[in-house]
Amino acid sequence: MVDKKKLRRRPSKVELGETELAIQWLDGEHSRFSLADLRGSCPCAVCCQARGQSEQEMQLPGGELPVLTGGAATATASAREFIYVGRYGIRIEWADGHNTGIYTFESLREQADG
């Protein structure tokens, strides 16, 4: 018996391109993820905090445009390589050296399925 639900979240092949990450899943589906989107949604603590801060800045009264500072505004969306993390995800090493975000296959697949 094959557990289809497990296969859904297992990649048979992961390919890193210039602007996107392509995943071939064991259940036969194929997904592509924009590297810019992946970088923008980096799940590591540093990036999550940076995004939280800029959301707060946007809520400042007075209508001033928030000044984007730090990682969020300047983060590169080009990736050097990716490393498998156990069997559940990958870690992407970005061209600027940032590599602490782990993208689980489960969350990638959820994103792909919308």
Residues 18-37, interacting with Zn ion (CB under 5 A) = none
Instruction: Rank residues 44 and 77 by Cβ distance to Zn ion and give the closer one.
Output: 44
> Using CA atoms in the order 93, 94, 99, 105, what is the torsion angle rounded to 10 degrees?
-60
Q: Is the separation of the CB atoms in 30 and 89 below 8 Å?
A: no
Minimum CB distance to Zn ion smaller for 11 or for 101 = 101
Nearest CA to 99 out of 22, 46, 33 is that of 46
Could you give the CA distance from residue 10 to residue 8 in angstroms, rounded to a whole number?
A: 6
How far apart are CB 102 and Zn ion at their closest, in Å? Answer: 10
Site map (CB under 5 A) of Zn ion, residues 36-55, x = contact: ------x-x--x--------
Residue 79 touching Zn ion (CB under 5 A): no
- The residues binding Zn ion (CB under 5 A) are 42, 44, 47, 101
